[in-house]
Structure 1
Amino acid sequence: NIYFGTFASTYVALDATDGTLVWQTSVAGPVGTAPAYANGFLYGTCWFCPLYTIDTADGSIADQDSLVSSSGSTSFPAVSDGWVWLEDNDGNIFGFLGQLPVGVLLKPSSQAQDSVPDNTVTYSVNVKNVGISGPDTFDATITAGAHGWAVGLYESDGVTPLPDTDSDGIPDTGSLATGASADVVIKVTVPVTVSPGDTELSKVTFTSSNDLSRFKVEKLTTTVPLPGVSIGPRAYFPLQPGDTAAAPMDVRNKGGLPDTIELAPTSGHGWTVTIYQADGVTPLTDTDGDGLVDTGQLPGLTTLSIVVSIQVPADAPLDMVDRTDVVASSAVDPNQTATSSVVIELAAPPSKEWPQFHHDRERGGVNPEPFQGPLTPQWTTSVGGGFPIQWTGSIIDGHVVFVTSPAGVISALDLGTGTILWQKSFGAGGDISGTPAASNGILYVTFVTGSNSAVSLLAIDEATGALKWQVDSNIGFAFSTFSTVAVAAGNVYWDDGFGFHLFANDATTGAPVWTFNLPAASFQGPTYWGGMVFASDLNGDIYALDAFTGTQLWQASMGNTVTSAPTVAGGVVYVGDYSGVVHALDALTGQKIWDSPAVGALVDVSSPVVAGGYVFEGSFAFDFFSGLMTALDVNTGQVVWQYFMPAGAVGTSAAYNNGTVFLSTWDGNLWSWDAATGAVLQTLQLSSRGSNSSVALGDGYAVVGDQDGEMNGFSFVGAGVAARVVVNPASTDVA
């Protein structure tokens, strides 16, 4: 738990896992200090207060000790060697013996379980003697609940009835020395005849034989739950036309009484869906004749495993997404439903260019077409309009480079020559602009607009720069947009930064699909994978949303600020934070897989690259001036190699191709390393002022911006070389 005091004159305990309130205890005045913890007790004071000793199990005040000062204390208690030391507001220092003469501690102090009728529910509680006066025996007294369900007390084996060792007519723990404890098993018997929703609060009071005023109450809540259902988990399959998806799921009757769970699957594209038993061969049937396949009657609180099979048509086009929703509903109460989804993606081959930030919607950072180094400088073109190209990245589509600048301008350049093909001004000057994304001849990009009152998503014709449509998020005051737009599943996903919103808009019309409210600003991102959208925020949380509805699927805290777009590879989310730690999480559930050691002082707007069995991440070094490039083992998160760059702090995302990692840094260099060994292959100067623009790789070129406001083009071996093909004979006739 987390314990703290408030100025509302309370001490509070929160569950450290999920932040839920455990207990809240009122005291005599506002709390202006932090409590101390020892031996299951909390020691704290407040304005106009004594020193309180609070039982952490339930928040009850176990003891109070007066202070000289009438205004109490704002000093932090110190605990050492069994003593509590405290200074009051008049400068008096006190030493209190920290332990109680007589005391009992129960762990846990309250418990709850669901049950079916005609069942015995077993609880276990640890009873500890925390008094310092010596051995004590704790009598156990039962208080039945409103329904009068029977309660039995047993020794730790759960079989032997709890004895009456001191012959006072009450079962007890037996004599416990100071600091010793005993486990007591408590059994609550649920009758045969009960109603759904019946709840019984049974209590067992453990009282000291040395001091009858010292006792603790164990609270046991046993419930026969109302009808309810669950189904899952969600599944994702990258398939090809003609394939079949087979998704295992569990259907659970969450109610306490028998129920039949109806199952209704629906494919978004009308594909054939069949639900089988766990063997994947035997189809489920309609056992109750209502027209829906079902589980048959399931006893209360039991689970049935099934397989959801989806046939992809052989003529289904590539680059499409289908979501099949399986709705489970209770036959006893049809209003009780649950839904799980199977997402099937018929992905086209990965682009050989760089059409979105970090190459693709998953932010993979890998170009699949192998290029051969070394790089050769080819061109430099000024596009910044007096501003640096920073905290953004360029993209490559159709042999054209697209990049924005803080001048509020988006530029299109010929990849081979750097010649400006067109430039358009859409945003406010001096504000950070987003990284564009290209799809089907349209560019999607965010700018600060409306005299710094809005962040806007624009759809622009790739060939001409003409505006097709614009969507505004009027946030009041806007000064930057770091959003790296993602295009997927017919939608455009983006955020408005300090407007605290994540959006999905129709890619063709710009019509709103859904909006999700974030609790804090989001910088780079979002990321798309498997029918899900992933976003980070400055609170250090990662959110996973359903890409079609915006419904939150899970949330996970990284523990520190995150400004980078998450990378998803192989069903795993990778992201670095401001403590320099890289995290790996299961993309479907958000469960932590591993945390790396700190790869630097902090990771800032730098999405990892996953390739060749490694996770590559750039970071600020611990002097906050230099930089580090780190390769982690993809399975464990442990450091494989690391390279230090003096004055080369990292505020960009790395790129990978053909066994080589590329990165631009604040020292003004474009670096490349052997991905397996960390050996430096090449260092190319970009600007003496540094580079804070991510590298893009495509069509045999590497392009990157710099702090001089220039775009720099480099060619791999063979790129841009004119070749002459001689055909002999020049012509011929074919019969």
Structure 2
Amino acid sequence: MRAPKIPAAGPGRRALLLASAGLLGGCEWLDDLFRERKVPLAGERRSVLSAVQRAGLSVDEGLQARAVSLPPPTPNADWPQAGGAPSHAPGHLALDTGAAGSGGSLREAWRSSFGSGSGYRRRITGAPIVAGGTVYVVDALGIVSAFDAATGARRWRLDSRPEEERDGAVGGGVAFDAGTLYVASGLAEMLAVDPAEGGVRWRTRLPAPTRGAPTVVNGRIFVPTIENQLLALSAEDGRRLWTHRASPATAVPLGLPAPAVEGDTVVAGFASGELSALRASDGRVLWTETLAAAGTSTLAEIAGIRALPVVDHGRVFAVGMGGLSIAIDLRSGRRLWEREVGGTEAPWSAGEWLFLLSRDGELAAIGGENGRVRWVTDLQRPREGRRDPPPAHWAAPVLAGGRILVAGSGGEMVAVEPTDGRILERRRLPGGVTLQPAVAGGTLYLATDDATLVALRGAASA
């Protein structure tokens, strides 16, 4: 049994410094910072899995005869929340790749600036969402913008910060549900906004700031805070319904994962490395796992979870920063398999396959049922004849139009063949991308680190 939960202490300057680093890939300098401070995680680590199941991203030769079969692409009009759906498992999405004979290449349809980009003191922490023909995105100052999804024309702009606190903020995130846009503010507020005009319907204070997007389902808002809490609020008026406190964390990533919701179960990852399933109606804990650190690097001791948890086919998939990825049975909490590979980005589930991105820039196709690896592709490998350094960080992948698309902080997007991992195409982007793109209406939407919103679609439609 797990020890009783202890309320998390407020983050000090040290935690906030680490939060800035948590957003970035390649945080090797944290090794030295933590060499003298080793805080063990609460909970008991139980390992009953075979060495094969626990191996890293090594291709399983016995799996080579098995084809990677995917469901057909499904058209979707909206991408209303982080991860594309409350479960973070939208499946194989349709994407307009142009007329026959075009090679499936995407073309830029439009681009628009949405405010202040990421910098030393501020970060864009919420990926764009799409609902009702409008793209919503939050800049590094907490300013929310709405754009016409077809043309890129700005529809409205809202400064989510209170008037008395407009000297700065750290990001925020948005979600859309039942005709309302919900904004989680980096200044410890939640807002309900009219999606058509940008007017504030209500706003409420949170006990601590958040650094990402909420998840909104069935009249409830679920939002994490930097004090290792998960809050449930009423979508009607913002009143607090319940609070769950995870164990204290050594470091808080900048970019907290929106929880996944399936039915009456909420699955949330925390900076302490805990992964908890709770009853959505009252917050009762159903089960808790710990993505304990793996490996010898002291970076592995930061076992927090920054990647969105994914729920699909009754399984929970979670990736930890400390070097462990796991699959868990949603109902029982039983661990199905684990891999000694860490990362900061959500995996993508489609059919019986999981596409997982490691913190080293390796993309792998893994059997969702058994954790066996079908193929591994190194995205960091430089292009032939190029000496430019590869991107330091890759955003979470999306599966759309028969391709896996992965955008990187180096201003490049890679298209990968999902059946065998071949790199099909590399294309330049207007800037670096560290947040998962959105797919809606056959169009791919990306938010660059310098606050440029870009729409890509097939050549015939661009």
TM-score w.r.t. the length of structure 1 is 0.41
Whether contact under 8 Å (1:441, 1:461) holds in the other structure is yes
Q: Which of 279, 295, 307 in structure 2 is aligned with 1:606? A: 307
AA aligned opposite 2:144:
L
Q: Which of 328, 343, 346 in structure 2 is aligned with 1:650? A: 343
The answer to whether the aligner puts 1:481 opposite 2:171 as a matched pair is yes
Alignment of 1:403-422 (within 5 A): 416-422=104-110
Q: 2:353 maps to what in 1?
A: 660
AA aligned opposite 2:220:
M
Alignment of 1:1-150 (within 5 A): none
Q: 2:138 maps to what in 1?
A: 446
Q: 1:691 to 1:679 in 2, by over 3 A?
A: farther
Q: 1:496 maps to what in 2?
A: 185
Pairwise CA RMSD: 3.1
Q: Which of 310, 315, 319 in structure 2 is aligned with 1:618? A: 319
Q: 1:704 to 1:482 in 2, by over 3 A?
A: farther
Q: 1:629 to 1:367 in 2, by over 3 A?
A: same
1:71-99 deviation per Cα after TM superposition (whole angstroms, max 9, x unaligned): xxxxxxxxxxxxxxxxxxxxxxxxxxxxx
1:3-46 deviation per Cα after TM superposition (whole angstroms, max 9, x unaligned): xxxxxxxxxxxx99999xxxxxxxxxxxxxxxxxxxxxxxxxxx
Alignment of 1:383-402 (within 5 A): 399=96
- CA distance, structure 2, for counterparts of residue 500 and residue 415 of structure 1: 47
Q: Which of 56, 79, 82 in structure 2 is aligned with 1:355? A: 79
AA aligned opposite 1:616:
F
Q: Which of 192, 202, 207 in structure 2 is aligned with 1:519? A: 207
Secondary structure in 1 matching 2:340: strand
Q: Which of 535, 541, 546 in structure 1 is aligned with 2:234? A: 546
The answer to whether the aligner puts 1:560 opposite 2:263 as a matched pair is no
1:427-482 deviation per Cα after TM superposition (whole angstroms, max 9, x unaligned): 2243432311111211011013xxxxx41111101112111001102343436425
Q: 1:366 maps to what in 2?
A: 89
AA aligned opposite 1:603:
G
AA aligned opposite 1:709:
G
1:293-323 deviation per Cα after TM superposition (whole angstroms, max 9, x unaligned): xxxxxxxxxxxxxxxxxxxxxxxxxxxxxxx
Whether contact under 8 Å (1:567, 1:608) holds in the other structure is yes
Secondary structure in 2 matching 1:596: strand
In terms of Rg, which structure is larger?
1
Q: 1:635 maps to what in 2?
A: 331
Q: Which of 441, 456, 462 in structure 1 is aligned with 2:149? A: 462
Q: 1:714 to 1:630 in 2, by over 3 A?
A: same
- CA distance, structure 2, for counterparts of residue 579 and residue 16 of structure 1: 12
For these two proteins, the number of residue pairs brought into alignment is: 321
Q: Percent of counterpart pairs with the same letter?
A: 26
- Higher relative contact order, structure no. (Cα contacts within 8 Å, ≥ 6 residues apart): 2
Deviation at 1:675, TM superposition (A): 0.6
Q: 1:698 maps to what in 2?
A: 400
Secondary structure in 2 matching 1:419: strand
Deviation at 1:684, TM superposition (A): 2.1
The answer to whether the aligner puts 1:530 opposite 2:218 as a matched pair is yes
Deviation at 1:690, TM superposition (A): 4.0
- CA distance, structure 2, for counterparts of residue 490 and residue 519 of structure 1: 26
- CA distance, structure 2, for counterparts of residue 415 and residue 528 of structure 1: 38
Which 5+ residue runs of structure 1 have no aligned equivalent? 1-14, 20-349, 370-395, 401-413, 449-453, 622-626, 721-735
1:567-606 deviation per Cα after TM superposition (whole angstroms, max 9, x unaligned): 1112101011122221010001111111114344523321
Structure 1 consecutive aligned stretches of length 4 or more whose deviation exceeds 6 Å: 15-19
Deviation at 1:716, TM superposition (A): 4.5
- CA distance, structure 2, for counterparts of residue 696 and residue 717 of structure 1: 14
Q: 1:730 maps to what in 2?
A: none
Which 5+ residue runs of structure 2 have no aligned equivalent? 9-73, 294-301, 381-389, 425-462
- CA distance, structure 2, for counterparts of residue 356 and residue 711 of structure 1: 23
Structure richer in strand, relative to its length:
1
1:189-235 deviation per Cα after TM superposition (whole angstroms, max 9, x unaligned): xxxxxxxxxxxxxxxxxxxxxxxxxxxxxxxxxxxxxxxxxxxxxxx
Deviation at 1:546, TM superposition (A): 1.2
Q: 1:365 to 1:351 in 2, by over 3 A?
A: farther
Structure richer in helix, relative to its length:
2
Deviation at 1:682, TM superposition (A): 2.1
- CA distance, structure 1, for counterparts of residue 370 and residue 277 of structure 2: 22
- CA distance, structure 1, for counterparts of residue 361 and residue 116 of structure 2: 27
Deviation at 1:671, TM superposition (A): 2.0
Q: 1:503 to 1:634 in 2, by over 3 A?
A: same
